[in-house]
Amino acid sequence: MTRLTELSLRNNPLGWTEASNAILQNLRRLEVLNLNYCPLGPQVRLADLNSLRMLFLRATGIETLPAWNWRRSDLIRLDVRDNRISELSLEELDGIERSLGSTRLHLLLSGNPLTAQAMASIRLFLEGRTRPRLGVGQNRPALEAGPDSTPWLAGLDREQVEARDRLWQDLRACTGSTDFFQMLSDLTHSADFSNNHETLVRRVWAMIDAASASTELRLQLFDVAAHPQTCGDGLALVFGDMEVRVRVFSIMSSTPQAAQPLELFKMTRSLDRLDQVEKIALREIALRQHQGDRVDEAEVRLAYRVGLQARLDLPGQAQTMLFSNIAKVTDADLQDAHSEIITRESTQAFFESLIAREFWMSYLEARYASDFDVVKRPFSERLSVLDELPANQQSDQQYLDRIALISSEREQALNEFAIRLSMQIADAVNMAPQ
């Protein structure tokens, strides 16, 4: 029990007491605590755990953020949506800013009756700060009890419509599906729904098929929809994150454990390559427009993706184009793009972009947890020494400055270690028979 890393008590009518805190403090390796929809009440006090990475307190009845030792906190996600929190001070926000995990922390606040003063504090705090990501509010219409699959059925014959609608309704009936279908409903108002409708429809049904085929994956997707990591970053990124989860699940469930790092690296690399192809295509479009040429932007972007799909093993791209002559992208253009992308993969910038992807960094931290603990240990020891210094040996500002320095050095050390791991995995992939 003391080695437990994840604990979910969601949707239980439990009462939280000091005995609960005592049990919690014994779980020194606990990283994920899910108390969503538990009626904890306004005055609950949770014991803070330095090991905790994710804390879910959605719709628990709390009226304030949990009291937390932010300077020692490694939280990267705190979900307090749909509660009764009305006040949020600059002091609280400053404390969060100084947490060890602040560069990756997602604080989800929507659905709380925040006062005008609290909103003003948030706006003031965000000016000039981009580190903590705050999801404050989403004024979207509530999803009706019976969501409509019609927007995703265009172009299908009657038999296909009946089969798809039946699959939709069966998944909709599963416990915890509300946020998932809210996300699909929101997607019908996205730019992709208007401009890339056929592709988006195919992607949506691929996800529904995958979720319907596996209970474990279905629960993961419902959880991502309920706790999006991209507060304010856009619906497309939330959906894209869910697609990544589908691919990761496929690799983890079908690949021997020893080969998983290599396969996940190749998947991560393919996503980075796709991003680079898009950047090169947009750069070419901008150049032509600057020269006064007429450009079909969609065709140019598609020409690069289709032309490089096989050579770069790009994910999920169309294999052919109807009007390739319109794009005016030559074989030489494609070869130059290929060379640029492959050359970049031996640079520091490439590996920095890999560890910036949440799922890759999270995988490394989980797979090589004991190694990461070794990297973290000296910084924890420095923090302990700092906490034990008498008050007359350092001012409050000196204390805060030293905490900030330790936090910055810790983050740099963790990133450098993650990059070294990624380089080792990249070498193994490159040496493996293709």
Alpha carbon 369 to chain centroid, angstroms = 19
Stretch (H or E) spanning 160? helix 158-172
Residues 6 or more apart whose Cβ sits within 8 Å of residue 332: none
C-alpha closest to that of 179 among 136, 216, 138 = 138
Residue with tokens 């799909």: 309
Q: Is 157 exposed, middle or buried (0-12, 13-18, 19+ CB in 10 A)?
A: exposed
Identify the active-site residue in 44, 231, 277, 337. Answer: 231
Q: Is 38 a catalytic residue?
A: no
The tokens for 153 are 């059925």
SS3 string of 190-203?
Answer: CHHHHHCHHHHHHH
Tokens 């007359």: give the residue: 392
d(CA 274, CA 104): 24
Q: Which residue in 313, 186, 316, 177 sits closest to 243, CA to CA?
A: 316
CA distances from 54 to 77, 80, 111, 195, 415 (A): 5, 11, 19, 36, 20
Cα angle value 327/328/334 (rounded, 5°):
95
- Tell me the CB-side half-sphere exposure of residue 319, using CA atoms within 13 A: 0
Q: What is the phi-psi region of residue 313: left when phi exceeds 0, alpha when psi lies from -120 to 50, beta otherwise?
A: left
Q: Is 379 helix (H, G, I), strand (E, B) or coil?
A: helix
In residues, how long is the chain?
Answer: 434
Q: Is 117 helix (H, G, I), strand (E, B) or coil?
A: helix
Q: How far apart are CA 108 and CA 110, in angstroms?
A: 6
Alpha helices (runs of H) in 233-323, residue ranges in sequence order? 235-254, 260-290, 297-312
Q: Looking at the annotation, which residues are catalytic?
A: 231
